[in-house]
Amino acid sequence: MVAHRAAPILVASNRGPVSYTLGENGTLTAKRGGGGLVSGLSAIGPDAGAVWVCAAMSEGDREAVRRGEGDAQTRMLGIEPDVFAAAYNSIANSVLWFVHHLLFQTHLEPLFDEDFRQDWASYETYNAAFADALAEEAAEGATVLVQDYHLSLAPAMLRERRPDLRIGHFSHTPWAPPDYYRLLPDDIGAQLLTGILGADRAAFLTHRWAEAFAACCADVLGADVGHDAAGEVTVTHEGRTTRIGVHGLGADADFLRERSHRDDVEERLAALRSEIGPGRRTIVRVDRTELSKNIVRGFLAYRQLLTEHPEWRGRVVHIAFAYPSRHDLAVYREYTAEVQRVADEINADFGTADWQPLLLHVKDDFARSLAAYRLADVALVNPIRDGMNLVAKEIPVVSDDGVVLVLSREAGAFEELGDDSLVVNPYDLRSTARALHDALTMPTDERAERTKRLAAAATALPPEQWFLAQLSELG
């Protein structure tokens, strides 16, 4: 029995701030993660008594739970492996992620059969485990910030257990428009929406996603969409009103500028420079190997650039870091292979004895990513759809000599960075190839001006403020 810690502030997310690896000799190694939530929470400090509830995602994590590892600020839930796999892999990452990123039909056929219904029951169990833990940890009247599509049902479940709490939900993904959302079975689509509406406030990264959520509530639930006195959108359903907010998470300028000048980054910068060769321009992309990131079409657009503008052959290098992601899912493993295959093809077709047109690296290395950010002449961020895309925000902040951002209009970052980017339709190879050419030929002073404005827009709401704003909106 875990002691009641009476936390005044709680965060709940699937992936927690720490993960464990179990060595062969039984030793556990802890790895701390970064990201907006970690920096946000650090703003309120360790003495605030905040508690972060997260899921054990691996055998190492589950062993850590069994051994009672960890600190008082983190409560990792040792959810049954089968239940976790069904909730995380089958529902969250193969259904909900696919709906919100419009990935069905292109990468998977939607099929909602009896297996799906069983997985759904696990998703409910998983959400209930979070609601139970939060209800147990929270002080009277505490504020709880529930994160993302893994935990869509938890707000309503938690409200049932603890009506005294102030509950916020934050979506880090896009939200599907109603016509696409209706692809979900009616009862499931409705349950997800009423789950989130269990919060006092549901927040999103952009106005576009917030409006889509409200539109789904009106369309699927027949909810009333209006405005409150402060001008925030409201959704009223079955007598309860939920406010809909927008907080566009920005880049952490102080952290990035300091981190990107440490020795390990300088070392990698030198190594990258020698890999690229002297005098060559660079197009950089950094992603998880994620279907929605549109890496293959990005490579094909680069191929088109080299075909239509042979003058760039030997004078430009495309640096692509594509880090492993969600490899439990076959469709992600296949996509990773496809990314490698297309990169190899481009190198075989265009490469020469002293020029490799595309450098693909797949081993996750944050210091090397920062080095590539610093030297990029052009940054390519072309997702099919993306909640925000922080890479688009981070690159202009650390750029050494200015960078031109080629940005998909379907990335959340477009809302704030669109004016100073070269904007592309992510499916359109010709427009992407042209944007790459225009970016490579942009005059230096224009590029510098744009970089300055991009960096300012990108850092308007750093993680700490982003986090504090959500807390203060909940009172």
One-character DSSP codes across 361-393: E-S--HHHHHHHHHH-SEEEE--SSBS--HHHH
In whole angstroms, how close is the CB of 356 to ligand G6P at the nearest point?
A: 30
Among 62, 162, 169, 172, binds ligand G6P (CB under 6 A): 172
In whole angstroms, how close is the CB of 310 to ligand G6P at the nearest point?
A: 38
In whole angstroms, how close is the CB of 33 to ligand G6P at the nearest point?
A: 9
Task: Identify which of residues 151 and 424 has a Cβ nearer to ligand G6P in the complex.
Answer: 151
Per-residue string for binding with ligand G6P, 146-165, x by CB under 6 A? Answer: --x-----------------
Would you state the structure tokens that stand for residue 408, as one six-digit string?
């998909």
Calpha distance 122→86 (Å, rounded): 6
Would you state the structure tokens that stand for residue 317, as one six-digit string?
């290098």
- Residue 402 is classified by DSSP as -
Calpha distance 254→257 (Å, rounded): 5
Task: Identify which of residues 15 and 361 has a Cβ nearer to ligand G6P in the complex.
Answer: 15
Q: What b-and-e string marks burial along 315-324, b requiring 16 or more CB atoms within 10 Å of the CB?
A: ebbbbbbbbe
In whole angstroms, how close is the CB of 407 to ligand G6P at the nearest point?
A: 18
Calpha distance 466→328 (Å, rounded): 32
Could you tell me how far CA 459 lies from the centroid of its own chain? 17
Question: Total number of residues binding ligand G6P (CB under 6 A)?
Answer: 6
Among 173, 292, 369, 382, binds ligand G6P (CB under 6 A): 173
In whole angstroms, how close is the CB of 171 to ligand G6P at the nearest point?
A: 8
Asked if residue 333 lies in contact with residue 340, where contact means CB atoms within 8 angstroms, the answer is: no
- Alpha-carbon dihedral of residues 164, 204, 331, 110, nearest 10 degrees? 80
In whole angstroms, how close is the CB of 172 to ligand G6P at the nearest point?
A: 3
In whole angstroms, how close is the CB of 246 to ligand G6P at the nearest point?
A: 16
Q: Please report whether residue 169 would count as binding ligand G6P according to CB under 6 A.
A: no
Closest chain position to ligand G6P (CB): 172
Rounded to whole angstroms, what are the CA distances from 259 to 266, 321, 371? 10, 19, 10
Among 303, 326, 437, 447, binds ligand G6P (CB under 6 A): 326
Residue 3, number of CB atoms within 10 A of its CB: 8
Task: Identify which of residues 173 and 242 has a Cβ nearer to ligand G6P in the complex.
Answer: 173
In whole angstroms, how close is the CB of 90 to ligand G6P at the nearest point?
A: 13
Q: Which residues contact 257 (CB under 8 A, 6 or more apart)?
A: 397, 398
In whole angstroms, how close is the CB of 97 to ligand G6P at the nearest point?
A: 8
- Alpha-carbon dihedral of residues 350, 355, 358, 362, nearest 10 degrees? 130
Among 5, 8, 15, 110, binds ligand G6P (CB under 6 A): 15
Asked if residue 359 lies in contact with residue 275, where contact means CB atoms within 8 angstroms, the answer is: yes
Q: What are phi and psi of 63, to 5 degrees?
A: -65, -40
Task: Identify which of residues 303 and 385 has a Cβ nearer to ligand G6P in the complex.
Answer: 385
In whole angstroms, how close is the CB of 212 to ligand G6P at the nearest point?
A: 16
Task: Identify which of residues 32 and 444 has a Cβ nearer to ligand G6P in the complex.
Answer: 32
Task: Identify which of residues 36 and 245 has a Cβ nearer to ligand G6P in the complex.
Answer: 36
Calpha distance 203→246 (Å, rounded): 5
Per DSSP bridges, beta strands 7-12 and 138-147 are: parallel
Task: Identify which of residues 205 and 306 has a Cβ nearer to ligand G6P in the complex.
Answer: 205
Calpha distance 66→22 (Å, rounded): 12
Per-residue string for binding with ligand G6P, 114-153, x by CB under 6 A? Answer: ----------------------------------x-----
Enumerate residues 411-470 that contact ligand G6P by CB under 6 A: none
Per DSSP bridges, beta strands 51-55 and 74-77 are: parallel
Task: Identify which of residues 231 and 363 has a Cβ nearer to ligand G6P in the complex.
Answer: 363
Pick from 470, 439, 475: nearest CA to 11: 470
Interface with ligand G6P by CB under 6 A: which residues?
Answer: 15, 148, 172-173, 325-326
